[in-house]
Amino acid sequence: MTQMSNLKKVSNPYIPKLTTIQEIVSENKPVNDLKTFKLVFNNPDDFKEFDYIPGQFAELSYFGAGECPIGIASSPTEEGYLLFTVKRVGVVTTALHNSKEGTAIGIRGPFGNGWPIEDLIGHNVVIIGGGFAFSTLRSLTKYILAKRELFKKLIVIYGARNPNELCYKQDLAEWEKLDDLELHLTIDRPVDGWTKKVGFVPAITKEVAPDSTDAFAIVCGPPIMIKFTIPVLTELGFADERILLSLENRMKCGIGKCGHCCVGEKYVCIDGPVFTQAQLRSLPKEY
């Protein structure tokens, strides 16, 4: 036996695991630039090793095009597959959008810190999201609903430009029927046939006025939405330590090596993407 054979085999974090696209769902027909991909691992044991929590992300690689970081939209309580909602914006995402069911996709992860589930247990949870950034919020909502007895009141405020841009329409329809989830859906401007709320997410949050008592606010959405939602939550009495946000941008390698997502002393890919508002106040003003 050689000396090399006695060395412990170390997993290379840059090598992706193989998955197959099992299903593709268009979230915004007929525009069709927002799709959710259901992936299954080619090796079932790889799924067992993919131990993730809501709020984390993974690097999806389309062979020949590259890779990109995407938030995990499925919940760990949904066993056997992973969901990723992808906006068509560049080379890799376009390649993904042009792929078909049965296509092989590489995946690295899970990465990041995710939503602090243990801190949320036993408290009220207010989830606030906008557009396709609702993906990791779907993950958290599904997780809480699957373990409903561990949490107190659950409020979800979700907005998009128009009804067609609201993701996970089947989930939303099911959530509206639940007695233990308070769901508020809104669109930016009036549309014929729309009977729910109209207005931007910050304004609707102020209108709904969720009670900050014993509550955490979880926010993920476009930067402009977050910018104007934070003051509303502060006005409602949410402490900075209980306002949680996800910075799902700037990532590249996913493991804190390339420095692409470095902000001050923090790396978004490993110290985040979830931060409290208190933590963000200490970062450079670019955030």
What percent of the chain clears pLDDT 90, i.e. is strictly above it? 80
Q: What is the pLDDT of residue 25?
A: 97
pTM over 0.75: yes
pLDDT at 10 over 60: no
pLDDT in tens, 259-268: 666 676 777 7
Separation CA 34–CA 88 (nearest Å)? 6
Mean pLDDT of the chain: 91
Alpha helices, DSSP H, located in 163-276: 169-176, 201-208, 223-235, 268-271
pLDDT at 84 over 80: yes
Residue range 226-246: average pLDDT? 97
Give the CATH number of domain 117-246; options: 3.40.50.80, 2.40.160.20, 3.30.365.10, 3.90.100.10.
Answer: 3.40.50.80
Cα-to-chain-centroid distance, residue 161: 18
Q: What is the pLDDT of residue 89?
A: 92
Separation CA 59–CA 61 (nearest Å)? 6
- Which comes out higher in pLDDT, residue 265 or 141? 141
pLDDT in tens, 130-139: 999 999 999 9
pLDDT at 215 over 90: yes
Work out the pLDDT band at 38, boundaries 50, 70, 90.
Answer: very high
In this structure, are residues 251 and 269 in contact, taking their beta carbons and an 8 Å threshold? Answer: yes
Q: What is the pLDDT of residue 287?
A: 47
Separation CA 162–CA 56 (nearest Å)? 27
Question: CA-CA-CA-CA torsion for 57, 59, 62, 63, nearest 10 degrees?
Answer: -160
Domain coordinates in residue numbering, the chain:
17-111, 117-246
CATH code of 17-111, in short, is 2.40.30.10
